[in-house]
Amino acid sequence: MEPPFDIDLIVLKYVRDRSLSADEAVRLRRWLTESNDPDRMALVERMRTDPDWVQAELLRMQQVRTEVIWSKIKWPKVESRVKPLFSIPLTPQTRRRRWSLTAAASIITVVCAGGAWLWYVAHAHQTPPAVAPMSLAADVKPGGNKAILTLADGRKIDLGTTANGVLADQGTTKVSKLSDGQLAYNKEKTTNEKPLELAYNSLSTPRAGQFTLLLPDGTHVWLNNASVIRYPVAFTGPDRTVELAGEAYFEVAKDAAHPFRVKIQNGGTVEVLGTSFNVMAYSDEPTERTTLIDGSVRITENNQSVLLKPTEQSALDATGKLRVTPDVNVEEVTAWKNGYFHFDHASLQTTMRQLARWYDIDVVYEGQLPDHEFQGKIQRNLLLSDVLKGLENDQVHFRLDGRKLIVTP
């Protein structure tokens, strides 16, 4: 259940016709529909559209014994309570400030996930019928920690179902699944001076999957959905090279004597010494992007080379031109790693591609859709229906048929 003193500001923004982020819209819809009280949604809508009615209700509440109302509410255990705002004297000056009263009413509404004011209005007289929420024929769960580990001999291990512990020995390196869900490589100490045979593993995530990897050199890799990374089980040469298709976030262990390189599926290379960066190279995306968080990296693609500084992003466009964009929104780029979708003027198609990969769905467009952009953050651990409720507006609508999402104007 939504924390009772968390939702109040969201309702306040909604009542005052302020723009909500995608995450706030989802939380508001959930709060409006999770209650067993069918009048909650209708009451909030009336507060938003009828400030005169709000003022009249507050005036009526001045004439009743408020302790009777508050006795109906089960207070949660919190450090402090919100003072009942209807105890403010309604002077002629305050009567003229109708939206201030509406704001007060919205906070009263949300106190204790429903509040005394909702109880009072619901029991004092009949209220308008509730507004029906958007409904979907089915729902789709979000993705999670799922991946397939392919060992050097071709054996495959499903990391989504296998137990924690040592999974395999790869030469002198032990491969383990840790309790936090991370895959780790630990090289054993040995006095054997015989050169090690170079062996490779690969980690692949399906659509609706993600996984975290600790490479033998201590580099952390967060692998996004529908991605593959191939790497040696031990770094023994003059450099540390891995291969990537899809999207991954890297925190590279510092080792100036052994440069770290990421070979991207189309032939590009990212070279670093010790840094944090994100590479997005999906085959269904129009551009391949590398975003530097800190440190420095050199990008080489199509016989072109650029050196990135923090918050800069390289992009290989459809013409094969390597371009650099300064001051990108790093939070948006890395949001997936932190459990969020983050849309910063994202197009409808870009947004839908992210949903398709994370929820393993197919997206179909019908009708003449507008050039709509989305902005805001929303959690990736929500059901698809909750995400769609946060994105839907008067320009874009959604219909779910099994695992097919139909987008209409």
Spatial neighbors of 120 by CB under 8 A, at least 6 apart, are: 57, 61, 64, 69
The CATH number of residue 265's host domain is 2.60.120.1440
Answer yes or no: do 150 and 298 share one domain.
yes
pLDDT of 236-278, one tens digit each?
A: 888 999 999 999 999 999 888 899 999 998 778 999 877 999 9
pLDDT for the residue numbered 318: 74
**What average pLDDT does this structure show over 150-167?**
90
The CATH number of residue 368's host domain is 3.55.50.30
Answer yes or no: do 149 and 241 share one domain.
yes
Which of the given ranges, 29-43, 90-104, 113-127, has the highest pLDDT on average?
A: 29-43
pLDDT for the residue numbered 91: 36
Answer yes or no: do 58 and 162 share one domain.
no
256 falls within a domain: yes
135 falls within a domain: no
pLDDT for the residue numbered 243: 95
Within 258-390, strands assigned E span 260-264, 269-272, 276-281, 288-294, 297-301, 304-308, 313-316, 322-325, 340-347, 362-365, 373-379
Answer yes or no: do 377 and 275 share one domain.
no
138 falls within a domain: no
**pLDDT score of 388 more than 80:** yes
**Average pLDDT for the chain:** 77
pLDDT category at 30 given cuts 50, 70, 90 is: confident
1 falls within a domain: no
pLDDT for the residue numbered 158: 93
Q: Which of 333, 358, 389 is the last residue of a domain?
A: 333
pLDDT for the residue numbered 126: 42
Token duo for residue 376? 């805001």
**pLDDT score of 110 more than 70:** no
Answer yes or no: do 164 and 102 share one domain.
no
Q: Which of 310, 333, 356 is the last residue of a domain?
A: 333
Lowest average pLDDT, out of 18-22, 144-148, 241-245, 344-348, goes to: 18-22
* 272 in Cβ contact with 249 (< 8 Å): no
Spatial neighbors of 396 by CB under 8 A, at least 6 apart, are: 348, 369, 370, 372, 407, 408, 409
Answer yes or no: do 210 and 326 share one domain.
yes
Answer yes or no: do 272 and 158 share one domain.
yes
Answer yes or no: do 178 and 278 share one domain.
yes
Total structural domains within the chain: 3
* 232 in Cβ contact with 260 (< 8 Å): no
**pLDDT score of 41 more than 90:** no
pLDDT for the residue numbered 36: 60
Q: Which of 309, 333, 357 is the last residue of a domain?
A: 333
pLDDT for the residue numbered 269: 92
Answer yes or no: do 241 and 384 share one domain.
no
137 falls within a domain: no
Kind plus residue range of the DSSP H or E element containing 215: none
pLDDT of 169-214, one tens digit each?
A: 887 788 998 888 889 998 776 655 555 568 899 999 999 999 999 9
Residues spanned by the domain of 281: 144-188+196-333
66 falls within a domain: yes
**pLDDT score of 90 more than 80:** no
Token duo for residue 85? 């705002």
Answer yes or no: do 106 and 38 share one domain.
yes
Top-confidence residue, 218 or 5: 218
Distances in Å between the Cα of 285 and the Cα atoms of 239, 245, 256, 316, 376 are 29, 12, 33, 11, 21
279 falls within a domain: yes
pLDDT for the residue numbered 18: 64
Answer yes or no: do 173 and 222 share one domain.
yes
132 falls within a domain: no
Nearest partner of 222 among 180, 166, 164, judged by Cα? 180
Answer yes or no: do 67 and 203 share one domain.
no
